[in-house]
Structure 1
């Protein structure tokens, strides 16, 4: 760890308490200007006081309901009407909202499970239910229209989600739905071209952030079936995706957006460009920040935690226990930097003729591997941990993020053997692998298991010859999925892997059914097991 002193000097120069000035130029209360000149406005800016009143007075139990409503007339007219009518003694806020907005649908709510079908047959029958056709533009909706069909997760998640989609595609591939996979890639390429990146989901309120960058892995998945022409087809979009995550790479001392300068070059963090409550979780964020007088830095960290996909987990908490201490932007995550290594690997396939790009990518890949091994490798425990660049030390929070370097073949065999042993002794549970070792009440902590992390762990272990442990995890997860399906007729968003008699819990909303990535990973793992 000989670089720690230099790392400390770099970290100390940068601001520890307030988001950097460049990063706060774009906030979710302002109009977002897109690359092609298109614009999207967010509801808090369009509706003003009405938006805040609806969310803080909890007109709907779920904060996401209102931001997904469709306005029945122009927002400007609704805003003026509210200003004129809201002072009336008998004014009814909920009645006003219902008069001016259409409530959103809940995906798969009315779907009737045929219990005579096996779990696999049930999942296949859900694909049409979860498929949305191409979108028509609607000025009264927060939905960003997509030109091709796509799969949504289900329940309250009525739009496409970035990293969910890769794991959903695993199941689509098993179902032979390659046209739909290509359609979804077209949609993501469209978002990169028009928005400048792939947002968390295709909603205007998600536009200030992305999610774990799995687009390159989606392209690689389709290329397995269609051949290397797929790399050529999507290489421009992949290059722009990379440029988005590396925006700010020229910095030499202060973090800019997703980029943090380290003694080993640029590493990446999760970073949402907004500094106010998330619109879809407005009340939750507002109350949380007010409770501890957290300010813009805390809003940034909450939003960035949402970009990580792990919203929320002890990984992002300074004390490892409470969301009140969230510090997402202070952390260089193992999984994100492994994913960007994977993106760099795919870009090498996309641009074999570009010698200069090849040099840049190979240097960055070498730096990422070295950084993970020198700053994130916990030699005493034998696993990878996230790195707090402000405190210039590891976070001390073990999580399944440690498996991402295995998925992308970044670890040595000795390291992989150590991680396998650590997972077997600490993370392996009756229903699969648990997300972290702490039960904080947050949904990305114990006792919950999540489909994407089962897949990353299983494939990562297989890459290094740990077939028996990988197969054990796969069989336990599939058995749990099938048990819940037999009891409820549903596939759900997350599962309790420690006590298979209990439902998963935690988070800002009830457990959702549907469910895209659980369906996809189940089919892919079932196929793996059947081949053994």
Structure 2
């Protein structure tokens, strides 16, 4: 039956692949400018040629710095003045920017840790450093104001980030910061109501995409402490979040936005609605596409890779090693569909009195589980892999996305046992579990480990009785975090789990300290180990 369904899917998709590729591909080499969404103007639209010149001439080493600057004068005034002054002899672009914009600081980079404090004490002291109060009117800024306090990751990440926040909240639970968790949930509900979804972060340049949908798990986390009234409070926001991801469920002969139609019903992919260089990485994206004579399809794949949170990884590369072969929108990811299964499960609780809606949700949940077992399960290796719907085959990239079906309890004991065995043999390293088995130089590949994936792996394994392996991973990750803290006084964004004496590398920017989700997962695992 499995092979028959696979054959049906091949027939189903083959007629649409060429049409879809033509629709999403362009080879234009113009200086792209993004399109505003819901009336919010991003910085490249507001500043025009000034934005392009600042980014391409590398006024700042990090492209994100300029998009986070605050204009001292109205954008229109700055743009007109620039277009006049840049024609004058001796014009200095850096000086012009410095006189017309306030440069943002990095968060927590200058925070001096107390060597006499334990790692646990350090993290709890750091929460106020990473906390932002409710935002006032942000005239001249790309920041989307939030009505209540929130935690930022740290370093160059000066705003709230969607999926980071769930793992940060794990630590806030251990610190007793339930009011702050509630405030952050209120902020996310506010974004869903005003923007239409939870953006990558609360910046105007992020509104074309979201991030892995953990909002339902955040609600579930607070409900565990405060009771089922939390589900009632956020049920409408949760439903709107679901509608965002399922907008496109009418897809038939080709995907629409996040939705791909299959013989098992609608499943989902990552999909950024923009097809231009990311404003916060404009120079990197622009020159990358110019070098390859790429176009809108590649811009969208880069953006969609950012929506996945795994930016970047061999999971999205056709040849498993080079970003030049990125094809994110062609891939149906294991983790995203498991997360949406989890969202649907929470919605069945929120709308338990709506029998028809609950029945539809449960059908979709069953369809997702069947899809993963039919198309993503590698029986030979005993693992889940992402599925490329264009090529009609699994991607062949082994990654920790395989643990998400275990986390959401949507797989069998036999399959979970196989995944556990594979992780123990291939992914377990001295400092925890490695992200993928491919060493590409990208930050979401070997030798790096990330806090959120340690947590998802540990809980997924525990859900199926693999307590010893889960404990080993937790102990090794905690030990690595504490070793780095002793040596540097910092918690950082990512860690090298293969060689505990080396820093993690890769990515488009230097290693960041702070760091929200590392802090949160550390506190949660430290407590978790003490209770076992």
TM-score after normalising by structure 1? 0.97
Give the equivalent residue in structure 2 for 1:448. Answer: 448
Matched residue count: 522
CA distance in 2, matches of 1:439, 1:18: 32
Matched, 1:114 2:114: yes
8 Å Cα contact 1:28/1:275 also seen in 2: no
Q: Deviations over 1:369-394 (max 9, x none)?
A: 00000100000000000000001110
Counterpart in 1 of 2:190? 190
In the TM superposition, 1:79-478 aligns within 5 A as 79-478=79-478
Q: Is the 8 A contact 1:106 1:154 kept in 2?
A: yes
Q: What secondary structure does 1:267 align onto?
A: strand
Deviation of 1:95 (Å): 0.4
For the residues of structure 1 that align with 2:437 and 2:233, how far apart are their CA atoms? 42
Q: Secondary structure at the match of 2:4?
A: coil
Per-residue CA deviations over 1:142-195 (Å, capped at 9, x if unaligned) read 000000000000000000000000000000001000000000000000000000
8 Å Cα contact 2:260/2:269 also seen in 1:
yes
The separation in 1 between residues aligned to 2:23 and 2:109, in whole angstroms, is: 41
Offset at residue 360 of structure 1 (A)? 0.7
Q: Which moved more, 1:354-363 or 1:189-198?
A: 354-363
Matched with 2:4 is 2
Task: Name the SS of the counterpart of 1:475 in structure 2.
Answer: helix
In structure 1, the residue matched to 2:28 is: none
8 Å contact from structure 2 (residues 24, 296) kept in 1:
no
CA drift of 1:9 comes to 3.0
- Name whichever of 133-142 and 334-343 sits farther off: 133-142
**CA displacement, residues 102-142 of structure 1 (integer Å, 9 cap, x when unaligned):** 00121012211001000000000000000000001222000
**C-alpha deviation, 1:40, in angstroms:** 1.1
**Contact 2:6/2:374 (<8 A) preserved:** no
Hey, what's the Cα distance between the residues in 1 that align with 2:86 and 2:10?
Answer: 53
Check whether the contact 2:35–2:274 (CA below 8 A) recurs between aligned residues: no
Deviates more, 1:108-117 or 1:480-489: 108-117
Looking at structure 1, the residues matched to 372 and 257 of structure 2 have their Cα atoms a distance apart, in angstroms, of 20
Deviations 1:393-428 (A, max 9, x none): 100001000000000001100000000000000000
Structure 1: unaligned runs, 5 residues or longer: 22-26, 34-38
Distance 1:51 1:123, change over 3 A: same
After TM superposition, give the deviation of residue 250 of structure 1 in Å: 1.2
| Residue pair 1:163, 1:213 contacting (<8 A) in 2 also | yes
**Counterpart Cα distance in 1 of 2:23 and 2:363:** 29
Instruction: Indicate if the aligned counterparts of 1:19 and 1:300 stay in contact, CA closer than 8 A.
Output: no
> What is the DSSP-based 3-state SS (H/G/I as helix, E as strand, rest coil) of the residue aligned with 2:507?
coil
Q: Cα RMSD over matched residues? A: 1.0
In 2, the alpha carbon distance for the partners of 1:173 and 1:288 equals 42
Q: Distance in 2 between matches of 1:31 and 1:290?
A: 23
- Offset, 1:17: 2.6
Gap change, CA 1:372 and 1:102, over 3 Å in 2: same
Give the deviation of 1:6 after TM superposition.
Answer: 2.5
Residue 19 of structure 1 contacts residue 296 of structure 1 at CA under 8 Å; is this kept in 2? no
2:168/2:520 contact within 8 Å kept: yes
How far the C-alpha of 1:10 sits from its partner, in A, is 3.1
Deviations 1:290-329 (A, max 9, x none): 1111100000000000000000000000000100000000
> What SS does structure 2 have at the residue aligned with 1:426?
helix
Map of 2:35 onto structure 1:
30
Mean alpha-carbon deviation: is it higher for 287-296 or for 435-444? 287-296
Distance of 1:16 and 1:519 partners within structure 2: 42
Deviation at 1:18, TM superposition (A): 4.1
CA distance in 1, matches of 2:22, 2:459: 39
> For 1:157, what is the secondary structure of its paired residue?
coil
Secondary structure of the 1:17 match is: helix
Task: Note if contact 2:34-2:275 (Cα within 8 Å) is conserved in structure 1.
Answer: no
Going from structure 1 to structure 2, the CA distance change for 1:111 and 1:360 (only over 3 Å counts) comes to same
Structure 2: runs of 5 or more not aligned: 26-31
Deviations 1:429-448 (A, max 9, x none): 00000000010000000000
SS at match of 2:286: helix
Task: Give secondary structure in 2 for the equivalent of 1:266.
Answer: strand
What secondary structure is seen at the aligned counterpart in 2 of 1:465?
coil
Change (3 A) 1:213 1:19: farther
Instruction: Trace 1:480-495 onto structure 2 (pairs within 5 A).
Output: 480-495=480-495
Q: Does the CA-based 8 Å contact 1:63-1:282 persist in structure 2?
A: yes
- The offset of 1:3, in angstroms, is 2.0
| SS, match of residue 3 in structure 1 | helix
Runs of 4+ in 1 over 3 A off after TM superposition: 18-21
